[in-house]
Structure 1
Amino acid sequence: MSTSPPDLREVFWVMDVYREAVDYLESQHVAAEADIMEEDVFQEEAVSSFLATMNIESIDLPDTPLFSAEEMLEKRLVVIKGILESEELYLAELDTLLMPMKALRASAGTSQPVLSNQQIQTIFYQVPELRDVHRSFYSDLKARLDTHYQDELSEESGKRCFELEVGDLFLRLVNHIGLYGGFIENYEKAVEVVKKCTNSDPRFRTLAESMMSTNGTDKARTKYTFEALLYKPLDRVTKTTLVLGDLLKTTPAEHRDYAALQEALRLSRSFLSGVNESSQSKRDVTLSHDMRRQLMRDGFVVDSSEGHRSLRHLFLYTDLLLCTRFKHATRGKQDQYRFSWYLPLAGLKLCWVAEQERAPDMNVRLHSIRTKMHLLRQQLKQHSRASRGLVFTARNKKKLEELELMLFTHSPLYRLELFSSSGKSHTLLFSSLYELEEWRENIYKLTSGTIETVPPDLLTLTGACVKLRMTQQPPLHSLSSGNDRDSLCGTLTVAIHSASGLQQPAGVYVCVEVDGYEYYDRQAQTHSSVHSLNPHWDQELSFQVDGAQSMRLVCVSQRNGEDDAVLGKTTVKLESKTLSERWRRQTLRLGQVDLAISLKYSPHPLEPPSSAVQQLPLFGVHIEKVAQQEGVLVPHVVRCCVEEVERRGMLEVGIYRISGTSSDINVLKAAFNSNLREAVSRLRNAEVNSVSGVLKLYLRELPEPLIPAELFQSLAENLNIPDENSRQASMLSLLQSCPHTNRNTFLYLMHHLQRVADMQDVNKMTLLNLATVFGPSLLRPPVAGLNGPSLDISHEVVVQVQVVLCYLQCNNLPEAQTSLPRDADAEEETTHM
């Protein structure tokens, strides 16, 4: 049968499935029929038919091994024996392929040659060298096994089994794997010569269609075509990688072969990856400007369609996005993909948004999943060293993987919306803003230039995903091989200070993500700063971490009327040896932005995850409690309102005197009591008089005023000091006795009101006007009978206004400290990412 040369990538994939099926039958003692003609099993029709029958509706996680070290060694011996038998069969096939070479070379010198010397060289290129390498490997492996079986009946048979070493043989074999590179490079030429000569010369056709080989211990005779024999080395190079993986799985980590087998597998996979890449560059569709379709990125995402969330494997090519449904290989089967949808990159528009919060029922569901995950891990820790708990441990690991997969599917809050020029659209969901931005960046780079889309063969493209993919598993922590001993467990606190380097003023927030087990929230964001070239937050974000090894930061700009834009991102490695309970300050480079942060870490056992705790209310709460909760000296509600007024209210006539709408003020108050970031977002769009009204309301509702009541009488007496300098000095001295939070918040507010008064020619707000507005909120007399004689109401107001006015008139008013000191004497570390 004449067919076009098969695509190497598809050939590798289909033959892997075929070979694994044969191996499975052999392991079940199902004998293959002798004297069977091996036809061209890699025909395109066979490939299409096989792909069309794939059924991939769900994802299965890999089975967890249930074997003890002794059982692994027994299975390892079975694997080695199977490899030896397979090598014997392969050598017989190579000998059959080389059998006519000598006769063909002899005829090349006659007047009627069957093949020319050049054609012979093309057909048999590198085959003799491959046979010699495998013959040497087979001989050495057989000798090792024979020696082992001779000692099998001794009392130390278990020890002998453990001492059987073959890793050096596989490493030596793989070091010669480069021979296959030349064979593969020449393969299509060789097939073309065979086909051409089969069609043109009856002598060669007879030879090419009736080559016989004696295989196996039963000496069964098998008939091959020349093309089928030429394919055998292609099959073998992929088979080598597979059997190395099987051998490594059955080799205990403490075995002396383990390191050598690991290196052999790495080299084999690296070679195969290079072959695939080379094959891809040859067969790919040519796009505009001589660009070829190549895989640029792949990974697992959540696809949202009609309210349903589904785990999908996404592939980004140079000209299109391919979304597939994935099913991991069960035992004895091949990983499989089924087409879901694709979008051309030409004309593709992207938009990302962050949902403010999840539905209450979803939060309950996620909390239930996290609690179960935490309990399972605790049980796994308890049974990890118990010999009787192997099956129990395996089952719990499987359950943990399934629960983490559910969390991965249902926890995302970020949406990446894709809009095609043809009108089609799809929505992808991400738990990580950092990962979403990586996908967006990769897609944007490809769509920013002129690009042409050649309609793909979706069946072939989907089928090739097994070989092309760079990501094997969903990003589940339970599947990672990281060392928990080097990870963080306890409380990690991140203080986000300020940023510099912006090209234009913007409202900016910072998103912080940590990795590890997902029993606790792993992501938090600062509030949005006021529009500025140098935004600052001094906001603390606290994480309960378990298994954390890295932290990712994303700096995002919010511009009125436009989509949020990521200014930069970076990753920070978390090492317990470099972190402590003292703050450690550093500056990170995130794209165009330099971000100043501090870190501290307190290791301790963690409590089970609790349900999502809502933010404690801010209004009507003692200011020290609010500041302690936020890790600052001036509460964010005060700073955010002040910054917003200074951004767009300094020229507003009657600012702080003219009240905003009470309904708007109440809405902002409720927002601050529940979600700081949402509150700041609302603040930017509210009437500026409502913003000033929120600040006045917060100060008015404090259980205790900023200036403690016990100072009222002393301050009133100091107003009678005739010398202005002495009076101000005494007033400032009294202010020093206030609690840190009260004093710094008061000073922060005073400096702000001084700046407002500087614009009194426009806003009509003098220092006296401002003192009159704020005096009753900032200073209150003591309750009658507790701290001195009571005053009449008229004298109270006079004292309140005059005290605040006195502070506003100070030219040497100390600067306010907005955040807690964080090891100011420590050397600042600058990290460029």
Structure 2
Amino acid sequence: MRISSSFLSGVNEESRCKRAVTLSTGMRRQLMRDGFVVDMYEGGLSIRHLFLYTDLLLCAKRKGGSAGKQTYYRFSWYLPLAGLRLHRASEQERSADLQFRVSTMRGKMFQLRQELKRQGRGGKGTGPRTLDRSRRKLQQIELWLLTHSPVLPLELHSPNGKSHTLVLSSLYELEEWREAIEKLKGENLETIPPDLLALTSSCVKLRMTQNPHLQSLVPDQEDQALCGTLTVAVHSACGLQQPASMYVCLEVDGYKFYDNKAQTRPSLSTLTPQWDEEFSLQVDGAQCLRVLCVLQTESGASNREDKVQGRTSIQLEPSVMLMRWKRCTVSMNQIEVHLSLKYSPHPLEPPSTIPVQQQPVFNVPIGVLAQQEGVLVPHIVRSCTEDVERRGLEEVGIYRISGAASDIQTLKSAFNTSLHEAVSRLRWMDVNAVSGALKLYFRELPEPLIPRYLFQSLADAIDIPDMSSRMQSMFTILQSCPDVNRNTFLFVLHHLKRVAEKQEFNKMSLMNLATVFGPSLVRPPEVVLGQCGPQVNISQEVVVQVQVVYFYLQSNNLPAPLTTMHLDTEEEVDT
């Protein structure tokens, strides 16, 4: 009984005090971390209070708290830290029904917040009771969203065969829990005997109750929180100790519970990743931006997890980045990430119950797509070429041997639906399907990368006998292309040159690559019925298409492409 009393006093202490408890063997148990998480069991979801002690995880149910009843906790489950295995499973997909309900609840929460703002200004019929009733409704909705909106699972597997799955809304928070648990696992600590823990399951009340963190309980700070559009440009990173494929995750707080997220595509395996991607996030009450660097596992390692290499948070100051770019450098575990932030305040529209559909990528003019993405080289081109360079440079017949038609159509559908999903699929797809999807994208462009009206000029220029005059004419024609077309064309050419550098393995010379890509990138004017024009033999057209691309590929002074549009004037770099 004395041992039980000592243990339970440690469980029942207030978490803010974090007092140590001495057990019979002289070990001191201490509460290291606690917080609210979503516990998944038998397909259901419930908010639980999780307590991390020096030797075990204890999960408690929160009971009561309504209709004037006192709030208390009941024991739910425990897992010893000794031998505990943690696994971050892939992000869960919400069912269509759940997605609709989440969107509906967000809409209700938005309307309630607007009502509370009006009531706070002292409108008619806005007495204390009305305000309290509205706040309680808001808290109920927010609690429901906290329970049903998270999609990031953390699996816990104990050597005794017991397993539990927690679901969190923030990768940042998930990593905080995992890091804290892994750190304690590494220490040689005593585990409480199971019979002692069995006594806690019969404990009627665990008197250590707290409320989940709700935005609706935080005092309104409109002058310090962001409401409008937060634009984040992720430029590059440095400080990696060895070449790796890495991507950056962004999470914003506020009334979206870190559901407001963005993620760059994975970089090539390099010491200095370069992304130059821009994201526009609609924010409501945001005060903090969380940044995580994640190392991607190698292709084919489906049983391995991507590893969070570093994380940090940025306090958002509206006045500093109001309507102008604020460039900053954030450091985490020797890695530095270069970002630019800009904030544009404006009234928010009510959330729609219909999910926002991404604009299609295929069969869309490349200038339109690039403008939608805010880049000079579309993400599909960069993602596919970088994936080929990551794992396909030594693939025999890359770009010549086509992947399975079904896989290519799957990638096409993914790019038309969700860039994030498409990039995730790339790494597990056959690399020939990735190269096939890129070729299909260029074939289906309504207007080729080199505009049709320049075809005849290129055909004439390629026949100029003098090499110097030919080169000057060819590059003058290239310079006359629209910015997006020119930079994308240059980007592809540099990629193909890197592919040809490995021709001893992949058997793809510059001429072979020009033969594959020429008809897609350079096309003659379309013949319009009823109009007279120069009669061009189809075989001659193909020769011109191939020779034009081959000429540029052979050039030693090919200009470097720009991938993103130049940002507005920025302030000096802050670290």
Determine which of 333, 336, 344 is the counterpart of 1:602: 344
Q: What residue is the counterpart of 1:807 in the other structure? A: 552
Q: Is residue 2:29 matched to residue 1:302?
A: no
Change (3 A) 1:736 1:374: same
The answer (yes or no) to whether the contact 1:286–1:292 under 8 Å persists in 2 is: no
Determine which of 370, 378, 387 is the counterpart of 1:627: 370
The answer (yes or no) to whether the contact 1:511–1:526 under 8 Å persists in 2 is: yes
Change (3 A) 1:466 1:571: farther
Q: What residue is the counterpart of 2:104 in the other structure? A: 368
Change (3 A) 1:462 1:548: farther
CA distance in 2, matches of 1:400, 1:485: 21
Q: Is residue 2:53 matched to residue 1:317?
A: yes
Aligned length: 560
The answer (yes or no) to whether the contact 2:169–2:257 under 8 Å persists in 1 is: no
Change (3 A) 1:722 1:667: same
Q: What residue is the counterpart of 1:699 in the other structure? A: 442
Q: Is residue 2:342 matched to residue 1:584?
A: no
Q: Is residue 2:95 matched to residue 1:352?
A: no
Q: What residue is the counterpart of 1:531 in the other structure? A: 269
Q: Is residue 2:540 matched to residue 1:795?
A: yes
Cα drift, residue 788 of structure 1: 6.0
Cα drift, residue 331 of structure 1: 8.3
CA distance in 2, matches of 1:444, 1:473: 26
Matched residue type, 2:360: P
Kindly provide the CA deviation profile for residues 278-302 of structure 1, in whole angstroms up to 9, marking residues without a partner as x: xx43x53256xx5411111111111
Kindly provide the CA deviation profile for residues 31-90 of structure 1, in whole angstroms up to 9, marking residues without a partner as x: xxxxxxxxxxxxxxxxxxxxxxxxxxxxxxxxxxxxxxxxxxxxxxxxxxxxxxxxxxxx
Q: What residue is the counterpart of 1:779 in the other structure? A: 522
Q: Is residue 2:392 matched to residue 1:656?
A: no
Change (3 A) 1:519 1:609: farther
Cα drift, residue 738 of structure 1: 1.4
Q: Is residue 2:185 matched to residue 1:442?
A: no
Matched residue type, 1:570: T
Cα drift, residue 478 of structure 1: 0.6
Matched residue type, 1:639: R
The answer (yes or no) to whether the contact 1:489–1:603 under 8 Å persists in 2 is: yes
Change (3 A) 1:329 1:654: closer
Q: What residue is the counterpart of 2:357 in the other structure? A: 614
Q: Is residue 2:422 matched to residue 1:679?
A: yes
Determine which of 137, 147, 172 is the counterpart of 1:409: 147
CA distance in 2, matches of 1:570, 1:295: 24
CA distance in 2, matches of 1:354, 1:787: 59
Pairs within 5 Å for 1:124-273: none
The answer (yes or no) to whether the contact 1:434–1:554 under 8 Å persists in 2 is: yes
Q: Is residue 2:473 matched to residue 1:757?
A: no
CA distance in 2, matches of 1:793, 1:761: 32
Cα drift, residue 327 of structure 1: 3.4
Matched residue type, 1:490: G
Change (3 A) 1:787 1:818: farther
CA distance in 1, matches of 2:205, 2:334: 39
More helix by share: 1
Determine which of 204, 207, 212 is the counterpart of 1:474: 212
The answer (yes or no) to whether the contact 2:34–2:51 under 8 Å persists in 1 is: yes
Q: Is residue 2:105 matched to residue 1:383?
A: no
CA distance in 1, matches of 2:24, 2:173: 30
Cα drift, residue 487 of structure 1: 0.7
CA distance in 2, matches of 1:530, 1:807: 24
Q: Secondary structure at the match of 1:394?
A: helix
CA distance in 2, matches of 1:438, 1:525: 19
CA distance in 2, matches of 1:672, 1:755: 25
Matched residue type, 2:45: R
Q: Is residue 2:65 matched to residue 1:326?
A: no
Change (3 A) 1:701 1:330: closer
CA distance in 2, matches of 1:313, 1:656: 53
Matched residue type, 2:126: G
CA distance in 1, matches of 2:164, 2:448: 54
The answer (yes or no) to whether the contact 1:10–1:464 under 8 Å persists in 2 is: no
Matched residue type, 1:423: G
Cα drift, residue 679 of structure 1: 2.2
Deviates more, 1:307-316 or 1:472-481: 472-481
Q: Secondary structure at the match of 1:726?
A: helix
Change (3 A) 1:328 1:555: farther
CA distance in 2, matches of 1:520, 1:421: 33
Extract unaligned runs of 5+ from structure 2.
none
CA distance in 1, matches of 2:15, 2:293: 36
Q: Is residue 2:294 matched to residue 1:556?
A: yes
Q: Secondary structure at the match of 1:484?
A: coil
Task: Let me know the Cα RMSD of the aligned residues.
Answer: 2.8
Cα drift, residue 460 of structure 1: 9.8
Q: Is residue 2:475 matched to residue 1:738?
A: no
Kindly provide the CA deviation profile for residues 558-584 of structure 1, in whole angstroms up to 9, marking residues without a partner as x: 213222211111010011111133332
Change (3 A) 1:537 1:298: same
Q: Is residue 2:552 matched to residue 1:816?
A: no
Kindly provide the CA deviation profile for residues 733-770 of structure 1, in whole angstroms up to 9, marking residues without a partner as x: 22122121111100011111122223334433232222
Q: What residue is the counterpart of 1:177 in the other structure? A: none
Cα drift, residue 819 of structure 1: 1.6
CA distance in 2, matches of 1:407, 1:601: 26
Deviates more, 1:557-566 or 1:314-323: 557-566
CA distance in 1, matches of 2:468, 2:55: 75
Change (3 A) 1:652 1:695: same
Matched residue type, 1:492: L
CA distance in 2, matches of 1:322, 1:817: 53
The answer (yes or no) to whether the contact 2:38–2:166 under 8 Å persists in 1 is: yes
Cα drift, residue 512 of structure 1: 1.1
Cα drift, residue 544 of structure 1: 0.7
Matched residue type, 1:443: I
The answer (yes or no) to whether the contact 1:508–1:556 under 8 Å persists in 2 is: yes
CA distance in 1, matches of 2:549, 2:6: 84
Kindly provide the CA deviation profile for residues 102-154 of structure 1, in whole angstroms up to 9, marking residues without a partner as x: xxxxxxxxxxxxxxxxxxxxxxxxxxxxxxxxxxxxxxxxxxxxxxxxxxxxx
Kindly provide the CA deviation profile for residues 777-801 of structure 1, in whole angstroms up to 9, marking residues without a partner as x: 1111222358964533222222212
Cα drift, residue 363 of structure 1: 0.7
Deviates more, 1:573-582 or 1:759-768: 759-768
Extract unaligned runs of 5+ from structure 1.
15-271
Q: Secondary structure at the match of 1:829?
A: coil
CA distance in 2, matches of 1:627, 1:286: 67
CA distance in 2, matches of 1:520, 1:555: 17
TM-score in terms of structure 1 length? 0.63
TM-score in terms of structure 2 length? 0.90
Q: What residue is the counterpart of 2:309 in the other structure? A: 567
CA distance in 1, matches of 2:173, 2:161: 26
The answer (yes or no) to whether the contact 1:374–1:609 under 8 Å persists in 2 is: yes
CA distance in 2, matches of 1:828, 1:423: 52
The answer (yes or no) to whether the contact 2:402–2:432 under 8 Å persists in 1 is: yes
Q: Secondary structure at the match of 2:375?
A: coil
CA distance in 2, matches of 1:635, 1:791: 32
CA distance in 2, matches of 1:778, 1:486: 50
The answer (yes or no) to whether the contact 1:517–1:547 under 8 Å persists in 2 is: yes
Cα drift, residue 346 of structure 1: 1.4
CA distance in 2, matches of 1:325, 1:352: 23
Percent same amino acid at aligned positions? 56
Q: Is residue 2:573 matched to residue 1:828?
A: yes
More strand by share: 2
Q: Secondary structure at the match of 2:146?
A: helix
Q: Secondary structure at the match of 1:486?
A: coil
